[in-house]
Structure 1
Amino acid sequence: MAIPTSPPISLPTDPHSYAGSSPVRAHHLALDLRVDFDSRTLAGSATWHLTPAEAATEVVFDTRDLAIENVEHLRVDGSVHPAEFSLDAPDPTLGQALRVALSAETAAVRIHYRTAPTAAALQWLLPSQTAGIQPFLFTQSQAILARTWLPCQDSPGIRFTYEAQVRVPAHLLALMSAENPQQLNANGEYHFRMSQPIPAYLMALAVGDLAFATLSNRTGIYAEPATLPMANHEFADLEHMVAAAEELYGPYRWERYDLLVLPPSFPFGGMENPRLTFVTPTIMAGDRSLTSLVAHELAHSWSGNLVTNATWDDFWLNEGFTVYFERRIMEHLYGREYADMLQVLGRAALHHTIAEIGVASPDTHLHLALAGRDPDEGLTEIAYEKGCSLLLTLESLIGRLRLDTFIKEYFARFSFQAMDTATFLHYLRAELLDQEPGLEDRLQLAAWVDGPGLPPNAPAVTSRRFELVDAALARLKSGTPSGTFRADTTEWSSHEWVHFLHGLPPTPPAGQLAELDAAFQFTNSGNSEILTAWFPHTLRAEYAAATPALENFLRHVGRRKFLVPLYRALLAQPDGVARARAIYKEARPNYHSVATGTLDALLAVRP
Structure 2
Amino acid sequence: MQLTLRHTCLAALVAVGVGCTEKDQTPATVTVEDNQAAEQAATTATAAMEEKAIESGVDYHSYANMQDYRVQHIALDLDVNFDNKSISGTATLDIDALNDSGKPLLLDTRALSINAVDGLDGPQTAALKFNMGKKDDHLGTPLSIDLAGQKKIRISYSTAPEASGVQWLTPEQTAGKKHPFLFTQAQAIHARSFVPLQDSPKARITYSATIRTPKDLLAVMSANNDPKTEKDGEYQFEMPQKVPSYLIALAVGDLEFKAMGERTGVYAEPSVLEAAAKEFEDTEAMLIETEKVYGPYRWDRYDLLILPPSFPFGGMENPRLSFITPTVIAGDKSLTALIAHELAHSWSGNLVTNASWRDLWLNEGFTTYLTNRIMQLIYGDDRYRMEMALGYEDLKSDMADLPDSAEIMAIDLRGKDPDAVFSNVPYEKGSLFLYELENTIGRDNFDKFLRSYFDHFAFQSITTEDFLAYVESTLIAQYPDKLSKERFEQWIFQPGLLADAPKPQSPAFDNVDKHRNGWLEGKQELAAIDISKWTSHEWKYFLNGMPETLSQEQMAALDGAFNLTQAGNNEVAHSWLMLVVKNDYQPGFERVHSFLTSIGRNKFLRPLYRALKENGKLELAREIFNEAKVGYHPLSVKVNSAILYPEQ
Q: TM-score range by the shorter chain?
A: over 0.9
Identify which of 436, 452, 459 aligns with 2:495.
452
Superposed displacement of residue 74, structure 1 = 1.1
Superposed displacement of residue 185, structure 1 = 3.7
- State TM-score, norm by structure 1: 0.95
- Aligned to 2:346, the other structure's residue is in SS state coil
- State TM-score, norm by structure 2: 0.89
Aligned to 1:484: 528
Aligned to 1:573: 615
- Aligned to 1:348, the other structure's residue is in SS state helix
Aligned to 1:556: 598
For 2:279, give the aligned amino acid.
E
The correspondence of residues 140-159 of structure 1 with structure 2, limited to 5 A, is 140-159=185-204
Matching of residue 280 in structure 1 with residue 321 in structure 2:
no
Identify which of 119, 122, 126 aligns with 1:81.
126
Aligned to 1:428: 471
Across the two proteins, how many residue pairs are aligned to each other? 591
For 2:253, give the aligned amino acid.
G
Take 1:124 and 1:414, find their aligned partners in 2: how far apart are those partners? 37
Matching of residue 395 in structure 1 with residue 438 in structure 2:
yes
Aligned to 2:627: 586
Aligned to 1:42: 87
- Aligned to 2:99, the other structure's residue is in SS state coil
User: Residues 365 and 453 of structure 1 are in contact (CA less than 8 Å); yes or no, is this contact kept in structure 2?
Assistant: yes
Q: Is the alpha carbon distance of 1:442 and 1:155 closer, same or farther for their aligned partners in structure 2, counting shifts above 3 Å?
A: closer
Take 1:413 and 1:20, find their aligned partners in 2: how far apart are those partners? 27
Map Cα deviations across residues 227-271 of structure 1 (whole Å, 9 max, x no partner).
111101100101001011111200000000000010000000000
For 2:409, give the aligned amino acid.
L
Matching of residue 516 in structure 1 with residue 558 in structure 2:
yes
Identify which of 267, 278, 301 aligns with 1:222.
267
Take 2:428 and 2:255, find their aligned partners in 1: how far apart are those partners? 34
Query: Percent of counterpart pairs with the same letter?
Result: 45
Take 1:510 and 1:20, find their aligned partners in 2: how far apart are those partners? 60
Q: Is the alpha carbon distance of 1:387 and 1:324 closer, same or farther for their aligned partners in structure 2, counting shifts above 3 Å?
A: same
Aligned to 2:513: 470
In structure 2, stretches of 5+ residues that fail to align are 1-54
Map Cα deviations across residues 372-420 of structure 1 (whole Å, 9 max, x no partner).
1111111111100110111111112111111111110000111100010
Aligned to 2:312: 267
Give the CA RMSD over aligned residues. 1.5
Superposed displacement of residue 509, structure 1 = 1.9
Map Cα deviations across residues 428-480 of structure 1 (whole Å, 9 max, x no partner).
01001133334344972221111110112311211011111112212322332
Matching of residue 496 in structure 1 with residue 538 in structure 2:
yes
User: Residues 13 and 20 of structure 1 are in contact (CA less than 8 Å); yes or no, is this contact kept in structure 2?
Assistant: no
For 1:53, give the aligned amino acid.
L
Superposed displacement of residue 78, structure 1 = 4.5
User: Residues 472 and 485 of structure 2 are in contact (CA less than 8 Å); yes or no, is this contact kept in structure 1?
Assistant: no
User: Residues 56 and 465 of structure 2 are in contact (CA less than 8 Å); yes or no, is this contact kept in structure 1?
Assistant: no
Query: What stretches of structure 1 move > 6 A for 4+ residues in a row?
Result: none
Aligned to 1:4: none
For 1:260, give the aligned amino acid.
L
Aligned to 1:62: 108
Aligned to 1:118: 162
Identify which of 434, 457, 460 aligns with 1:417.
460
Matching of residue 164 in structure 1 with residue 209 in structure 2:
yes
For 1:565, give the aligned amino acid.
P
Matching of residue 342 in structure 1 with residue 387 in structure 2:
yes
Map Cα deviations across residues 157-187 of structure 1 (whole Å, 9 max, x no partner).
0111111000000111100000113356453
Mean CA deviation greater in 331-340 or 77-86: 77-86
User: Residues 56 and 102 of structure 1 are in contact (CA less than 8 Å); yes or no, is this contact kept in structure 2?
Assistant: no
- Aligned to 1:19, the other structure's residue is in SS state coil
Map Cα deviations across residues 168-218 of structure 1 (whole Å, 9 max, x no partner).
001111000001133564530000111111011000000011111001111
Superposed displacement of residue 606, structure 1 = 7.8
- Aligned to 2:126, the other structure's residue is in SS state strand
Take 2:77 and 2:485, find their aligned partners in 1: how far apart are those partners? 54
Matching of residue 318 in structure 1 with residue 318 in structure 2:
no
User: Residues 266 and 591 of structure 1 are in contact (CA less than 8 Å); yes or no, is this contact kept in structure 2?
Assistant: yes
- Aligned to 2:151, the other structure's residue is in SS state strand
Map Cα deviations across residues 569-589 of structure 1 (whole Å, 9 max, x no partner).
111223x01100111111111
Aligned to 1:507: 549
Q: Which of structures 1 and 2 has the larger relative contact order (alpha carbons within 8 angstroms, sep 6+)? A: 1
Q: Is the alpha carbon distance of 1:56 and 1:79 closer, same or farther for their aligned partners in structure 2, counting shifts above 3 Å?
A: farther
Matching of residue 601 in structure 1 with residue 642 in structure 2:
yes
For 1:528, give the aligned amino acid.
N
Aligned to 1:72: 118
- Aligned to 2:152, the other structure's residue is in SS state strand
Aligned to 1:5: none
Identify which of 131, 135, 156 aligns with 2:175.
131
Take 1:88 and 1:339, find their aligned partners in 2: how far apart are those partners? 50
Identify which of 513, 525, 528 aligns with 2:570.
528
